[in-house]
Amino acid sequence: MTYVLPRAAIVLIGWTITCAVIHSVSAHVGATAFYIAAICWALAGIICFGYLHNLRNELREPRS
């Protein structure tokens, strides 16, 4: 749990900033744009932090 919470907070902050920018550009944006932004941030977070987790595991366990 200590691994997931800080990363989830980073993704949530990024999504919030993205939604604020979308809303500031146009106040008449539909909810679909915010859902798409949430899905993109979730996928990017999973891919990025999963990759970093794999790299960290490879550094801990050297292969012979």
Domain-wise residue ranges, the chain: 4-60
Evaluate if residue 13 carries a pLDDT over 90. yes
Give the model's confidence band at 8: pLDDT under 50 very low, under 70 low, under 90 confident, else very high: confident
Task: Please tell me the pTM assigned to this model.
Answer: 0.74
Buried b or exposed e, range 28-49, using 16+ CB within 10 angstroms: eeeeeeeeebeeebeeebeeeb
Q: Which residues have CB under 8 Å from 33's CB, separation 6+?
A: 22
Q: Which residues have CB under 8 Å from 3's CB, separation 6+?
A: 53
Evaluate if residue 43 carries a pLDDT over 70. yes
Evaluate if residue 31 carries a pLDDT over 80. yes
Give the model's confidence band at 1: pLDDT under 50 very low, under 70 low, under 90 confident, else very high: low
Give the mean model confidence (pLDDT) for residues 41-51.
91
